[in-house]
Amino acid sequence: MDPLVRFSQPESENILPARLKSSVLKRMKYVEKGIKRVQIAANLLYPKYYVEPVLPVTETIHEMGQLGVLYARTIPVVGPAGVEIVVQLSAALVAYAATSTINAVLAHEFLHYVEFVRKFTNMDSLAEEISTTIYESVYADAERLYDPKLLYKDKRLINLLEKKFAGGLNDPKLHEKTTKNWVGKGLPILRITPESNTMRIPVSAALKSNFDIMVKMRIEELDRMVIERAQRV
């Protein structure tokens, strides 16, 4: 998948100002470096990902009327070959975020990717609604993510995750830039409600899905580690 495929589609080709689009294109190198860092840290391949030029937003839980920006989401997509898990990065994240935040977001979304593979492989996702992951909100499924210390061998990346995701994304500068330069200037946004951020996956699609075998093997290893850790407590 071309990560910038959405920028070349007719409905969104000229949706952003030329200067902002140019900034996104130039800063894609930081995303690519971040992807490589996560892959090395996990010794696994990153899933397909793309940059979304329309900014997904939702109202915050505690302050109705206040927009919460969805800088990234990990989304299960149903296609002819079954379920495919794709990471969506917002153009605002690429354009405005520091490289440390980009790395942390990529690593966090990878945790959600692994969790989705676990759910569909174990078939425990079919009896419940699957909410696409929104990293700056606190969802129940976040409590079921694997401990980054079990998945990653990069201590600096683990520390970065713990720093940036203490109860949600912690990057005031990114929020300020996005609010001022994107929302404040009337650039395209997509309002997402809890209902529209939920989907059901057909059993038939899940059954014929073919996920990365290395990820599935790692999940088996991680599950054993989790059990062993619990037994030691």
Alpha-carbon span 197 to 144, nearest angstrom: 19
What are the strands, taking DSSP E only, across 80-164? Answer: 82-90, 130-131, 133-134
More confident call, 115 vs 12: 115
Question: The tokens of 52 are what?
Answer: 């979304």
The predicted pLDDT at position 202 comes to: 75
Q: Which two tokens stand for residue 7?
A: 């920028």
pLDDT category of residue 194 using cuts at 50, 70 and 90: low
pLDDT at residue 85, rounded to an integer = 93
Residue 124 pLDDT grade (very low, low, confident, very high; cuts 50, 70, 90): low
Residue whose token pair is 């200037």: 185
pLDDT for 175 equals 93
Look at residue 140 and tell me whether its pLDDT is greater than 50. no
Domain count, the chain: 1
> What pLDDT, on a 0 to 100 scale, did the predictor assign at position 233?
65
Which residue in 159, 29, 178, 177 sits closest to 107, CA to CA? Answer: 159
pLDDT grade, residue 199 (50/70/90)? low
Who wins on pLDDT, 201 or 50? 50
Domain of residue 170: give its range.
5-232
**pLDDT at residue 139, as a whole number:** 38
CA distance 130 to 205: 14
Quick one: DSSP state of residue 168? S
3-class DSSP state of 26: helix
| Residue 101 in this model has a pLDDT that exceeds 80 | yes
As a whole number, mean pLDDT of residues 161-189 equals 91
CB 15 within 8 A of CB 53: yes
More confident residue, 103 or 199: 103
Q: Other CB atoms closer than 10 Å to residue 161's CB: what's the count?
A: 20
CA angle centred on 81, ends 33 and 31, rounded to 5°: 10
What are the structure tokens assigned to 180, written together?
């001022």
> What is the structure's pLDDT at 35?
98
More confident residue, 37 or 67: 37
